[in-house]
Structures are given as structure tokens and as C-alpha cells.
Structure 1
Amino acid sequence: MRHERISVTDEAAELNQQLKGTVAERLLSRQGVRAYYPKSGIPGQTMEAKGTQINATLGQAFDDERQPLYIPAFAKYTNLDPKEVFPYAPTHGITPLREFWQKEIRRKNPSLDGIISLPVATSGLAHGLTLAQQLFIDEYDMVTIFAPFWGNYKLHFEGENEQTIWNPVPLYNQKEKLNLTEILAALSGMDRKHILSLTFPSNPTGYTPTEAEAEDLFTIIKESAERNNDILVICDDAYFGLTYEKGLLEESPFARLANIHENVLAVKVDGATKEAFFWGARVGFLTYGFKGMTKEEAKALEDKTAGRVRGTISGVCTGSQHMVLHGMQDPLFEEQLQKNRDILQGRVQTIKRTLEEHPEWREEYRALPFNSGYFMCLKTNKDTERVRKILRMEYNTGVLSINNMLRIAHAAVPEHAIPELYENIYQACKKVS
């Protein structure tokens, strides 16, 4: 372990012992080393008292029939059983949902092999990313990430003292393919700690690598691990399942990385937010995998994660978790999910066709490669902030200006409005000298 002199509780020491000798132990941050779920404290004693005739442990109110003492004015706005809404959920998340989500991970990622942890519920993916930082990213650790990247990563990965070292690698090479050369350089050396953050489909570019590009990326990671580097790969799967062309990576990178080498710890950050079109539920998950991981080691990671959940938000909304569980188990869910995916795919196809029909637009901007997700980006030599303001004030059109590009959230644009949107951008660009 890199932090031998850290003072920890007996419960944290027990979890560290269960992880001893693994890549997970070596990658833990100082806070990760200290993290534990207080089984001997209130949560543990409350769990032991479950089912007793007189239970005076719970910090919740119940009626004389031991049902939640809720307010009917709230209950009338949901069809869920009050017991699925009003009580606290377990810190790790409700067990049926965790088990269901784990099965879904395996179903959607058939190449996934080996043991993976039982997903721990988080308050959306953003919370999951912050927990990953707390557990594994120390001050002055370097995070390699494809650029451009979602601006919130700096909020999630920098920690309280904002001392994280950023190593942004351009997503595209000169041929506008996945930039593997600089990833190879970033994961060079031996006997080092590497942190790699992957987001496919990408936010903001809407790019997913081809199967061949992904295979080369996995090879680079494996060869770096073979040089005795410990590698943390955070797989942000926010837009999982939203690929619109053949030949792309369909599975999560987690599927290959969770069992690729003993020195690679893969962390899957996912949830119902965009994958299941349920943004307001704020239900996400953290799942772990490394080659040779035992069930005991998986449980230790789950408990460390739950300790940080309890230390930040206490637990994830009970009603939201049950809504996600019941909704995804509904016999019509998959059909309805595919309908939404088809709508987004249709918009992307319309964008590509519209861009091809208007070669004159290339005088002002060009589209970076995109094939998936919610977004795409336009590159222009004009001042994008000025273009954005002109679009808003003169064309009643809203886009984002980031990294000297224009980001288009096509997931939010009706298909019939797509030609007008890109014509407006063209006209606004022409007005900027």
C-alpha cells in the first residue's frame, strides 16, 4: 500500500486487509484507505435488530402497525407502495435493484467475464464520479482524459484542494480517428500509477470508437499493465447503448477491462439517467472489476463505496430506486427504450444528410466525427462565443460555445428543426469577421 502511515479505524483496516496485494489496494487514495462502512455502528446494529418484536433502533417514524408514518398528501402523487417511497433505502442501494442492474450489465456486455462487484447505488452518475475520485484519486495524481471533455470532470476529479494534474489527450488524430498514439505515450513507463477516464459515447463530441480502435486501446492498456503499472480506468457509461452506426464499440469498455489484467482496476459509472431516459431519478451505480477479483474483495470495495455514500448523501432516494426497478422490469420497457433510441438515431442521420446537402456550409464550419450519444461539435475559425450570442439574439437559437467549438445537443432538437438550426449557424458565422 502507498499510504502505510495513515491512521484508520479497525473497520477500515479490515477492508484494507481484504484487498491486500490487489491492484485495488495499491490504487486507493488516502481517503480510500480510510473509507469504511460502519457495520459496528448505527447501520450495523440497526441491521442486526431487523425483525425484532420491539425495534427501537430506526431513525424513522412508524405507526402502531409498524408501517411508515407518512403524510397522505405526499402519497397521493405516486402509485408506488408507501413502503417503496417513504423509508430510508439501504446505504448500498436496494438489493433487488442492485442485483437486477448487475444482471443487466452482463446481459448488455456478453464478453464480460469473471467476478464483478454488486453495483452500489449513487445519486446519479455525477455522484458516482465524485465517489471514484474520493476513493482513488489523490492530490497530484495525474488523470489522462480524451479532450474535449465534459467540463464537470474538473469538479468531480479535482477534489477539495484542486491539485489533480490533468493530462488531456486530443480525442482525434490528424486523420480524425481515435488518437491512440498519445494514449500510448500517456500510459508509458513502468511501476507507476496511471488514471485513465473513458467516456464513450463522448460528451461533447458524440464519438464512439470503432471495434478495431477499441481493441487497439485495450491492447495499449494491457501492455502498460504488463510493465507493472497499476491502472485505474474510469468508464463513464452515461450514454451507453446510444450508438447509431455499424462497426462501433457496442459494449462498455468495462466489459473488456474488468478482466484484462491483474494490474487494471476498471470502475463502471452508469445509471438510469441517459441510458434509460430517466434524468430526474438521480439513480446511478458504481461497479468494480479486476482480473482475479474474489467475492470478498468485491464486497470490500462495495463497503468502502457505501461508506463514502453514507459520508456524503447518506443514501439514494428510495422512491427513485423502486421506480427504476419496476420500470425496467416492465414488459414494455425494452420496446419503449428502443423507440426513444430510434428517434435520436433518426436525428443524427438527418444531420449527416443535411450537412452533405449543403457543401457551402463548410466555408464557415465543419462537423467533427460523430456517431453516437446526445451531442456533436462544429469546428469553425470564427469566435464561437460571438457566434453563440448572435444565434441567441438574432436567430432565436441556443447552442453552447466550448473549447472554440459549437456544441449541438441534437438530442434536444426536433428533427424538423435540424435544417434551420444548421442554416442559422451558417448565417451567424458569416456575420463574424
Structure 2
Amino acid sequence: MEFEALKKSGITNLLSAFGRSIWLPQGIFYWTGRAKKEATIDATIGSAQGPENEIIAGAPDKAVTFYIPSVQRHFAGLKSEETVPYAPMLGLPDLRKAWREWILRKVGDLRPRVEPCLTLPAVTPGVTGGIFMAAKMFVDKDEVVVSPDRLWENYSNIVERHIGARIETFPFFDGGRFNLKGMQRKLLDTLAQQPKALLMLNFPNNPVGFNPPQEMVQPIVQALIDVVEQAGKPIVVLCDDAYEGYVYDPAALQRSMFGDLCDAHRRILPIKLDGISKEFLFYGGRLGCLTFGLPSGLDVDRKALQEELDNKLGGIVRSTVSNCTRPVQSAILKALGQLDQVLAERQRTVDVLGRRANLLKAEFAKVSLPQLRPLPFNAGFFCFCDVEGVPANKLAEHLIEKYKIGVVPSEGGKINGIRIAFCSVPEKDIPTLVNGIVSAIKDLAAES
């Protein structure tokens, strides 16, 4: 966007440097807006959707955003004292304790190792807000943040436009496996130029939909240990766990890598960012949590360290959003008290998305088209297809105009491809989706 109206009005001259630099890229929201108006198959939306009777027995066959009934009941039954008063800056104390227990439940047999490291989670305005708070606390202007090259586009808005740092990437895959050597090289190069590095790890990944196999977890952790040992400098690992729990391959890691990173090395500080948007299918609730995994070998009073971290985080919250919404915290606290029921209800959505992912793989397996290369996917809400010989934006435009199929294109550097949100495409439409993509590529290839 050129912001011609702002320039003509003279308001541009009133803007701060930040006000002049910030902008919303023509990305996911642009294509989602187009798809809502023009598409009959919408594979742009990053929320689980489909016929209500897929998740609720006896419900109508109408399209809804999937939800967890017991969470909705708790929200509807709140009393005034659970909704009206301000919430504490870092969240309701009982919710913070309950979320800590939720994390410990998720790490499973790693609990004895993780529990001594785990701080009390701080409530954030969604996982996005948690990413912003962590980046604001740990990244300086002009520093480098390291990430795989398949990343959520909003990272750039947060890290580069808000903070003034820059993201440098390494190729996500090396021969169909997570690129350990590329990650190590990029971190070592970064640490040669600055006193610490911040690494962003998003598993299951958006936009790829990949979670590493269980056998890869320890090599990833060891690779990071080797980096800090060789460089003699620390790294902060931001675990963006927004899609934790949505894994459709029994050989893949079934939980966050955060637990494996806890106490891995005194120079590795993992930070867990998770929340209710996907884990509790409550997108509009805008509630996340930020939790530190403090190494056990730190020679410091742990209670004092928790208080001082809380003070820092509280300063960010107070000066930005003041606090997070109390009604949502109250409802989620009640849901956490009935976790077995909540997870049983959520499993219906996990099962639906797993069937869609497996059907999508099967449909792609039938395709023999050199220009289309689906990347490995086994988790999350998305898959990503590299496209050769046809610009991704042109493909997305042709798909929506001729075939009424909405996808999100990605172009930049060595990446040219489309993100497919199978989370919002019913099973019956998946063969049509794949056939449309194949036909659209063939159309455009014939033109060139």
C-alpha cells in the first residue's frame, strides 16, 4: 500500500518513524477477504471449520467454527464478579497456577525434569501478544532473530517493524528432515556478531504443518547444546506452541519441544508461548500464556527471580494492554477444572482434522506434476506446496477467479508456493481442491 491519501492529507508528516514504517502486508487477511466473497472452497482461514455434526452428534449439517461445548457452557454461565472487575495484570492467580499444571500434564513423563524449571505463566493477549512481549524483552534494535524460512508472516511485523530487529532464516528442510546443520550455522554466525541469539521454533509449523519425528527431538536439542558450547554465548528459544496437540502421525512428537529444552543447558533459556485459540478452540478469547523454563543450575533465589520476571512482564502489560479480559480467564479456569471432559470433546476436532490431512496427502499422492511439490506435513492446521515455474500470487489469483478456490500465496527469496488451510476445508471438498490446484498450474504453465 502506498498510503497516498495519508500523504495527500498531510497526516503522514505528523506520524512518528514507527507510524510511517508500520503496515499490514497484503497476505493472509487479503486472501481471506477475497475468499469469503469469491470462493466456494476456502482454504485460507486458519481456524477449524466444517459441518457442526462432525463434532457434535445430532447437530445440524451447517458450517460452523468448531468449538468445545463445555468451554462454551462455562463462558455462558459466568457471574458478574467473574466478568466485571479488572483482572490482575499478569492474569488471575488461580488461572496461572492451573495453566502451569496444564503444561506439566502436557509434558508427560518429562514432568520431574520440567517442574523445577517452570515459572508461573503470565497471561498474555493471545499467543501473538506473548510473542510480542518476549521479543520486546529479549531483542534489541538491529539485532538478528533466527528462524526457519517457513514462518508465520506476522513475525516480521512484530520483530522487524515494532522492534527494529531483523529476522534471518535458514532453510526449513534438508532432504525432507528438519535442517539441523542449517540451524546451527545460522545461530553460530549470529552469535559471532552479537552477545546472544533468539531462535524461533514453531511446531507444529505454520505454514508447513510439520512436527518433527520423535527420533529427531534429541538431535535438535543436542544441536543447540553444541551451539552454546562452541560459541560460549546464550540463546533464547521461543517455542511458539499455538498448534500444540494437533498431531496426526504417531511417529511424530506429540507435544511441545519446550519440555525437552528445559534444563538442557545453563545457556539455553526456553520460553513457552501457548494459548486457548487452538488448544481450547476459542479464537475470539485472545488469551495466551508466557512461561519460562529456567535452568536449574542458576545460582539465584527462584522466588526472587520469579518476582523480578513478573515485574518486567507486568511493566510491558501495564504500558500496552493494561490487563487481559477477565471473563475469558474465568471461563478457561473453570474448563481447566474439567480437563478430561474438555480434551475428550476437543478430540473430535483433532480426529476430523487428522482425516482431512490424511485425505489431502492421499490426493496429492495421486498427482504427477513436477511443478507442484507438497512439503512434508503431519500436524497443525496447514500444509504448504512449493510451486515451480508459476508465480504463487498469479496462481492464487487464477485459482480464485476460475476455480473459486482460495489459498494463501507466498513469494520471497527462494520461496514460491501456496499455503492450504485444510482445517477449514470439509473432506468432501478436498479432492476438488487438489484437482483445482493441478488444473490451475497446468493452465498457467500452458500460457507460458
Range class of TM-score, shorter chain: 0.7 to 0.9
User: Distance in 2 between the 1:306 and 1:218 partners?
Assistant: 31
Give 1:304 shift.
1.1
1:229 matched residue in structure 2: 233
Q: Report if the CA contact (8 A) 1:200-1:208 is conserved.
A: yes
1:269 matched residue in structure 2: 273
1:288 to 281, 288, 292: 292
Give 1:226 shift.
2.6
Give 1:165 shift.
2.8
Query: Is 1:139 aligned to residue 137 of structure 2?
Result: no
2:67 matched residue in structure 1: none
Give 1:254 shift.
1.3
Q: Report if the CA contact (8 A) 1:115-1:295 is conserved.
A: no
User: Distance in 1 between the 2:141 and 2:240 partners?
Assistant: 21
1:172 matched residue in structure 2: 173
2:79 to 53, 56, 81: 81
**Which 5+ residue runs of structure 2 have no aligned equivalent?**
1-74
Superposed, which structure 2 residues align to 1:239-258 within 5 Å? 239-258=243-262
1:151 matched residue in structure 2: 153
Superposed, which structure 2 residues align to 1:95-174 within 5 Å? 95-110=93-108, 111-112=110-111, 113=113, 114-158=116-160, 160=162, 162=164, 164-173=165-174
For 1:245, give the aligned amino acid. Answer: D
User: Distance in 1 between the 2:358 and 2:105 partners?
Assistant: 28
User: Distance in 2 between the 1:136 and 1:421 partners?
Assistant: 42
Query: Is 1:350 aligned to residue 321 of structure 2?
Result: no
Q: Report if the CA contact (8 A) 2:234-2:267 is conserved.
A: yes
Q: Could you list the per-position Cα deviations for residues 85-126 of structure 1 after superposition, in whole angstroms to 9, with x for gaps in the alignment?
A: 111101110111111110010111031422311000001011
User: Distance in 2 between the 1:271 and 1:95 partners?
Assistant: 16
For 2:117, give the aligned amino acid. Answer: I
For 1:116, give the aligned amino acid. Answer: L
For 2:148, give the aligned amino acid. Answer: F
User: Distance in 2 between the 1:92 and 1:195 partners?
Assistant: 23
What is the aligned-residue identity percentage? 30
2:209 matched residue in structure 1: 206
Q: Could you tell me the TM-score, scaled by structure 1's length?
A: 0.78
Give 1:130 shift.
0.6
Between stretches 111-120 and 237-246, larger displacement belongs to 111-120
2:47 matched residue in structure 1: none
2:182 matched residue in structure 1: 182
For 1:82, give the aligned amino acid. Answer: S
User: Distance in 2 between the 1:387 and 1:411 partners?
Assistant: 21
Q: Could you tell me the TM-score, scaled by structure 2's length?
A: 0.76
Give 1:213 shift.
1.9
Give 1:274 shift.
1.1
**Which 5+ residue runs of structure 1 have no aligned equivalent?**
1-76
Query: Is 1:397 aligned to residue 405 of structure 2?
Result: yes
Give 1:291 shift.
1.1
User: Distance in 2 between the 1:244 and 1:299 partners?
Assistant: 39
* 3-state SS of 1:131 partner: helix
1:67 matched residue in structure 2: none
Superposed, which structure 2 residues align to 1:24-103 within 5 Å? 78-103=76-101
For 1:88, give the aligned amino acid. Answer: Y
Structure possessing the higher relative contact order (Cα contacts under 8 Å, 6 or more residues apart): 2
For 1:210, give the aligned amino acid. Answer: P
Q: Could you list the per-position Cα deviations for residues 378-421 of structure 1 after superposition, in whole angstroms to 9, with x for gaps in the alignment?
A: 11211221111111111111001013101000001111110000
User: Distance in 1 between the 2:93 and 2:201 partners?
Assistant: 28
User: Distance in 1 between the 2:83 and 2:392 partners?
Assistant: 46
For 2:265, give the aligned amino acid. Answer: H
User: Distance in 1 between the 2:132 and 2:359 partners?
Assistant: 36
Q: Report if the CA contact (8 A) 1:391-1:428 is conserved.
A: yes
Q: Could you list the per-position Cα deviations for residues 142-162 of structure 1 after superposition, in whole angstroms to 9, with x for gaps in the alignment?
A: 111011111100112225352
Give 1:338 shift.
0.9
Q: Report if the CA contact (8 A) 1:119-1:302 is conserved.
A: no
Q: Report if the CA contact (8 A) 2:119-2:294 is conserved.
A: no
1:409 to 399, 417, 421: 421
* 3-state SS of 1:217 partner: helix
For 2:140, give the aligned amino acid. Answer: D
For 2:435, give the aligned amino acid. Answer: E
Q: Report if the CA contact (8 A) 1:257-1:290 is conserved.
A: no
* 3-state SS of 1:150 partner: coil
Kindly tell me: are residues 90 and 283 of structure 1, through their superposed partners in 2, closer, same or farther at Cα, counting changes over 3 Å? same
User: Distance in 2 between the 1:338 and 1:303 partners?
Assistant: 37
User: Distance in 2 between the 1:233 and 1:329 partners?
Assistant: 30
For 1:307, give the aligned amino acid. Answer: G
Kindly tell me: are residues 161 and 287 of structure 1, through their superposed partners in 2, closer, same or farther at Cα, counting changes over 3 Å? closer
2:436 matched residue in structure 1: 424
User: Distance in 2 between the 1:152 and 1:225 partners?
Assistant: 28
Give 1:224 shift.
2.1
Q: Could you list the per-position Cα deviations for residues 228-271 of structure 1 after superposition, in whole angstroms to 9, with x for gaps in the alignment?
A: 21111101000001111022122312112121111111111110
* 3-state SS of 2:117 partner: coil
Q: Report if the CA contact (8 A) 1:260-1:290 is conserved.
A: no
User: Distance in 1 between the 2:151 and 2:79 partners?
Assistant: 41
Give 1:78 shift.
4.0
- More helix per residue: 1 or 2? 2
Q: Report if the CA contact (8 A) 2:408-2:418 is conserved.
A: yes
User: Distance in 1 between the 2:337 and 2:443 partners?
Assistant: 52
Kindly tell me: are residues 203 and 81 of structure 1, through their superposed partners in 2, closer, same or farther at Cα, counting changes over 3 Å? same
* 3-state SS of 1:246 partner: coil
User: Distance in 1 between the 2:227 and 2:395 partners?
Assistant: 43
* 3-state SS of 1:366 partner: strand
